[in-house]
Amino acid sequence: MKHPARIAVPGPAGQIGYSILFRLASGAMLGPDQPVSLTLLERPNPTSSAALKGVMMELDDCAFPTLAEMKAVRDPAEAFDGAEYVFLIGARPRGPGMERADLLEANASIFETQGRALNEAASRNVKVLVVGNPCNTNAYIAYHHAPNLDPKCFSAMMRLDANRAVAQLAEKTQKPVCSIQGVRVWGNHSNSMYPDITAATIAGTAATELVDEAWYNDYFLPTVATRGGAIIKARGKSSAASAASAAIDHMRDWWNGSDGRVVTMAVPSDGSYGIPEGIVCGMPVICTGNGNYEIVKDIEFTAAGRARLDKTVAELVKESETVAPLIAE
């Protein structure tokens, strides 16, 4: 029997938690031969605790052969003890009258605590995926509070944005999603993101030959960037199953490698493309296996593409400036 992979999930009693846990437990991320151990960290209030208890009862009732163990904990250091894969899902949602700066500040304390606990307790090769919004800057805060871990252990989720972009291209061209390669989403997981199809191919043909510029500018870009809001409008709740699925795609590729495929991850910038070093920015990467990745280099931008990249990077820089006093030692 293989040693169970240690997976920690803060925020397990929420919507995304309810979608992701069953897939993690069933082997959707690490395969049917890899047992998993789930450590679930919720807020210590009666409603969340009761909801988590119900989720764990359902996980029990699935009798997944791959679920070797599972426990609920209240202390982040206990949650991350030896953790190899961490999904930071729980975050403070934006409340009425809250400005973006208030939201950044409210989340800073959560991600500071979690960053410190990861620093103290997690595997030195841990893979931390920040899903809770504002995810790029939350990841930035978390890794700044984990000085003994490589910043490359941290990333934020923009795979859902990339998956949404692929889905729109597939629908427009009536081609299967598996025939689409090379879509990348730059920048912030916000409306400023830059979904980029300049290097994308669909069944081997350049995407830019199959869709026209007007569709790209007037339909594709705003549809991808505002898809989260459209989901809320349609179902009265934010994306959950698609977010969970993207989180699994992200972590699976990150750990196993992407077989040479370009995938989108928000990662600490190494200064490529003039993106200030350290900010957590959506970028095209190739995952090379064992949790390693390389940022794709030498991409040339159109003038419009460069302007879009600059705009979304400027937003990330502003967010990093807002939280700067909160991460100063």
Which residues have a catalytic role annotated? 189
Q: Which of 6, 127, 145, 189 binds ligand NAX (CB under 6 A)?
A: 189
| Count of residues interacting with ligand NAX (CB under 6 A) | 28
Residue 299: how many other CB atoms lie within 10 Å: 18
- Residue 264 phi/psi, 5-degree rounding, is -100, 125
Residue nearest to ligand NAX (CB): 14
41 binds ligand NAX (CB under 6 A): yes
Q: Which of 29, 38, 42, 84 binds ligand NAX (CB under 6 A)?
A: 42
131 binds ligand NAX (CB under 6 A): yes
Q: Which of 160, 183, 185, 225 binds ligand NAX (CB under 6 A)?
A: 160
Whether residue 318 contacts residue 138, with contact meaning beta carbons closer than 8 Å, is answered with no
The region of 7-15, 54-62, 198-206, 304-312 touching ligand NAX under the rule CB under 6 A is 7-15
d(CA 249, CA 258): 10
Chain residues 217-236 in contact with ligand NAX, contact rule CB under 6 A: 228
Please report, to the nearest 10 degrees, the dihedral formed by the alpha carbons of residues 213, 216, 222, 223 taken in order.
Answer: 150
Q: Where are the beta strands (DSSP E) in the chain?
A: 5-10, 36-41, 67-73, 85-88, 127-130, 154-156, 180-181, 184-186, 194-196, 201-202, 205-206, 263-268, 280-289, 292-295
d(CA 162, CA 157): 10
Alpha carbons within 13 angstroms on the beta-carbon side of residue 112 total 13
The tokens for 265 are: 């991850």
Q: Which of 14, 182, 187, 284 binds ligand NAX (CB under 6 A)?
A: 14
The region of 15-23, 200-208, 252-260, 269-277 touching ligand NAX under the rule CB under 6 A is 15-23
Q: Which of 29, 108, 110, 287 binds ligand NAX (CB under 6 A)?
A: 110
115 binds ligand NAX (CB under 6 A): no
Alpha carbons within 13 angstroms on the beta-carbon side of residue 107 total 32
Q: Which is nearer to ligand NAX, 14 or 182 (CB)?
A: 14
Q: Which is nearer to ligand NAX, 93 or 289 (CB)?
A: 93
56 binds ligand NAX (CB under 6 A): no
The tokens for 33 are: 């031969």
Q: Which is nearer to ligand NAX, 205 or 226 (CB)?
A: 226
Alpha-carbon separation of residue 129 from 168, 181, 266 (angstroms)? 25, 23, 9
Binding residues for ligand NAX (CB under 6 A): 10-11, 13-17, 41-43, 48, 89-91, 93, 110, 131-133, 135, 157, 160, 189, 228, 238-240, 243
